[in-house]
Amino acid sequence: MSKQIVIHCTAGKEDAEKATLPFIVGNVSATADQDTIVFLTLEGVRIATNGYAEQIQKDGFAPLKETLNSFIANGGKLWACGACTKPRGITDADLIAGAKIVTAANLVEVLANGAVSCTV
């Protein structure tokens, strides 16, 4: 039985490892046919914007752009926190394909419905 899984990502290029790990875990979850969301907050919301992920690679890891593309291709959902995108000037027009700006209510709904939450 598929379970909804929410993985929290708070980092962007200032911490390439913290920015990449949620997508490694998310990719494993998505390829295991789990309904998977990577929820981006703080500087992590920038990952959802055009061209940003190309700037991130931690030594020993695949480039974030490759892992992110694989995650989305495997059915993963990419949610950017609206409260975090707004002060950074990020709008729907800035987003990569597969990304969506959501409200806190969207996150609370999936968690209240039983999603498992994870921060890596």
pLDDT in 10s for each residue of the chain, 120 residues: 468 999 999 999 999 999 999 999 999 999 999 999 999 999 999 999 999 999 999 999 999 999 999 999 999 999 999 999 999 999 999 999 999 999 999 999 999 999 999 988
Give the domain range for residue 107: 4-119
* CA angle (106 as vertex; 51, 69 as ends), nearest 5: 30
Q: What is the CATH number of the domain that holds 62?
A: 3.40.1260.10
pTM given for the model = 0.95
User: 89 burial class (0-12, 13-18, 19+ CB within 10 angstroms)?
Assistant: exposed
Looking at the structure of the chain, the number of domains it has is: 1
Q: Are 81 and 100 in contact (CB under 8 A)?
A: no
